[in-house]
Amino acid sequence: MWSDGRVPAQPAAEERPMKRHHTARYYAHRVKESLTTRVSKLICAIVLGLLFLIGIISFILWLSLRPHRPRFFIEGFSTGNSVIAYNVTARNSNQNIGVYYDSVEVAVFYQDDQRLGGEPVLQPFYQEPKNTTVIAGMLGAGTSTATGQQWEQIAADRARGEVVFRVEVTSVIRFKISSWDSKRHRMHANCPVRVGPDGSLLPNNVHKRCTVYFN
């Protein structure tokens, strides 16, 4: 009490926030939501991990089992006395994939588009992985369709220093991967060759790789 009889004012009571009480059902619901979220995230992580692993395995298998086309190389070619001799090698460069050749035919062209003749050269055969097959033959009487005029032109070109030919190897092939066989592909290998005045393949054409395409 003040000297003048007044009663000092009492400080206002501090307002305290009301504490909210939650029911057991509320906490159970929150725990359930938290567990559901964690389980969902775990499932998503597992699925994404599996998809990534499957993708890696598929990519590795694709790299190891992807078939490579056979590779063809000119090893020898010569002309003389209306006869053409050729020697081509077919290389299967695949590590684990074999190649079935249903047929093999070789044709020789002069100046790229004048067909001089052709013949089947091999019976159907299977080529093991990492294996080379020799395709050799000769076009002459019975297999050559070249005319006397064409042979005269070839002789004249040889006298000038160089003659251009093209060897075409045609086959129908299938790839063998383990116990599975692919569909058939018609394959062409085009091998441009040049011979010198003596009728023999020029040195820079020996072991020249041919262009291979399917249709």
60-110 pLDDT, tens digit per residue, is 565 556 788 999 999 999 998 889 999 999 999 998 899 999 989 999 999
What does the chain come to in residues? Answer: 215
141 with 129: CB under 8 angstroms? Answer: no
Residue 196: helix, strand or coil by DSSP?
coil
Cβ count near 99 (within 10 Å):
26
Phi, psi of 164 (to 5 degrees): -105, 130
188 band by pLDDT with thresholds 50, 70 and 90: very high
pLDDT at res. 9: 57
Q: Minimal CA–CA distance to 110: which of 164, 70, 68, 155?
A: 164
The band of 180, judged by pLDDT with boundaries at 50, 70 and 90, is: confident
Exposed, middle or buried by CB within 10 Å (0-12, 13-18, 19+), for 32?
exposed
Look at 1 and 140; give whichever has higher pLDDT.
140
Task: Decide if pLDDT at 2 tops 80.
Answer: no
Mean pLDDT (whole number) for 18-29: 59
Tens of pLDDT, residues 120-134: 998 899 999 999 999
162/192 Cα distance (integer angstroms): 13
Report the alpha-carbon distance of residue 206 to residue 132 in Å, rounded: 16
pLDDT value for 202: 94
Sign of CA dihedral 115, 148, 151, 118: positive
Instruction: Give the pLDDT band (50/70/90) at residue 141.
Output: confident
pLDDT band at 10 (very low <50, low <70, confident <90, very high): low
The answer to whether 136 and 88 have CB atoms below 8 angstroms apart is: yes
pLDDT (average), residues 182-200: 93
pLDDT of residue 41: 80
Question: How big, in percent rounded to 5, are the helix, strand and coil portions of the chain?
Answer: 25, 45, 30
Q: What angle do CA 35, 38, 41 make, to 5 degrees?
A: 150
Q: What's the chain's average pLDDT?
A: 84
Give the position of tokens 């990519």.
Answer: 59
For residues 91 and 76, give the distance between their C-alpha atoms in angstroms, rounded to a whole number: 16
